[in-house]
Amino acid sequence: MHTVALVVFPQFQALSLSLGSVFECANLLLGDPAYAFRLVSEAGGAVMSSQGFSVNTEALDPAGYDTVIVSGYLEVGLPGQSLLECVLAASAQSWRVASLCTGVFVLAEAGVLAGKRATTHWLHAPAFKKRFPDIQLEEDRLFVVDGQVWTGAGMSAGVDMALAMVEHDLGTDLARRIARKLIIDQRRGGENSQLSALLELDPRSDRVQLTLAYARENLRSDLSVETLAEVARLSPRQFSRVFREETGQTPAKAIESLRVEAAKFMIETSRHPVEVVARETGFGDRERMRQAFLRAFGITPQSMRQAS
């Protein structure tokens, strides 16, 4: 059985606990306990979360676990030296070491990240780079895997990272079934950006949200104002006005952002020719996509692929 230990400490972020559901579902779907999930802390006993409730923990075992994950916490500060030493000792004996959000500061301070690539929540990236300038931080990644060390971004990324761990351990089919059981409509890989074009648009009404969801699922299709207005059940003129009021962008600009985001993901995670990427994301031809990339990122798709 694979033992997973989540290390918590006072004021840990409660959402860190959600990744445990992934391993729990793995056991349920397999009908056999593949994972043993443990909550651990430096001394064991009750530990207070950032939301004011306590959890019961076991004492952190310096002999290590199969996987040890350091949780995040709200304030960017560091636990005491004794906990850092315990984390370092356990990490040295564990098969896989991970952190979530600000937990990366603990791994870095303990010396676990020497010579490794890592990520953290974009909000804390400047503080991390200032404190640990010698560690290569990939601040726009959802999670980063470098050897046996895994580091994740914000709290929801913990579920994505845990799904990737299960996929690594037990295969893609099980990870997909877990995502379905947890009603996760889109599995995100480590290469995904922390910032989503849909999140940035942040529409208020159901009509505009539905239209954007339709657009994301149909990037190859005709996404003219007339088509989107029909999805929203508004006239083209009404739709354009409402869309701009809610998002601050024209429909055409928003659709380009969605297509650029999808194309960037394909460029970074596949070896498809640029022409195929342009076709699959709705740009139609490579020149239109090239111009959109220059507007969004200041570089061409070819340059982005060479740098990835």
Q: Is residue 117 part of a domain?
A: yes
Domain count, the chain: 2
- Tell whether 189 is covered by a domain: no
Q: Which of 149, 181, 213 is the last residue of a domain?
A: 181
Q: What's the pLDDT score for residue 194?
A: 47
Residues 157 and 277 in one domain: no
List per-residue pLDDT tens for the chain, 308 residues long.
999 999 998 888 888 899 999 999 999 999 989 999 999 999 999 999 988 899 999 999 988 899 999 998 766 566 788 888 888 888 889 999 999 988 999 999 999 999 999 998 877 887 888 899 999 988 777 889 999 999 988 767 888 899 999 999 999 899 989 988 887 755 555 455 544 555 556 677 888 888 888 888 888 889 999 999 999 999 999 999 999 998 888 999 999 988 988 888 788 767 888 999 999 899 988 999 999 999 888 888 988 887 66
Q: Which of 141, 157, 181 is the last residue of a domain?
A: 181
Domain span at residue 61 reads 2-181
Same domain flag for 173 and 205: no
The CATH number given to whatever domain includes residue 21 is 3.40.50.880
What CATH number corresponds to the domain at position 268? 1.10.10.60
Tell me, yes or no, whether 249 and 146 share the same domain. Answer: no
**How far is Cα 196 from Cα 113, in angstroms, rounded to an integer?**
27
3-state secondary structure of 200: helix
42 plus 141 within the same structural domain:
yes
Task: Let me know if residue 144 belongs to a domain.
Answer: yes
The verdict on residue 147 lying in a domain is yes
Any domain includes 186: no
Question: Are residues 245 and 164 located together in one domain of the fold?
Answer: no
Q: How far apart are CA 100 and CA 80, in angstroms?
A: 18
Residues 263 and 168 in one domain: no
- Residues 60, 153: one domain? yes
Residue 210 resides in a domain:
yes
The pLDDT of residue 200: 56
Q: Which two tokens mark 110?
A: 């303990």
Residues 119, 70, single domain; the answer is yes
- Contact call for residues 7 and 41 (beta carbons, < 8 A): yes
3-state secondary structure of 151: strand
273 and 140 within one domain: no
Structure tokens at 88: 């370092």
Q: Are residue 213 and residue 258 in the same domain, yes or no?
A: yes
| Statement to judge: residues 174 and 278 lie in one domain | no
Task: Give the Å distances, CA to CA, from 228 to 81, 205, 212, 235, 259.
Answer: 57, 14, 8, 10, 15
State phi, psi for 97 to the nearest 5 degrees: -125, 135
Give a yes or no: residue 187 inside a domain: no
The DSSP symbol for 96 reads E
Task: Note whether residue 206 is domain-resident.
Answer: yes
pTM for this entry: 0.65
Taking the CB of residue 66, how many other CB atoms lie within 10 A of it? 15
Q: Which of 121, 153, 181 is the last residue of a domain?
A: 181
- Report residue 56: phi and psi, to 5°: -85, 135
Same domain, 77 and 148: yes
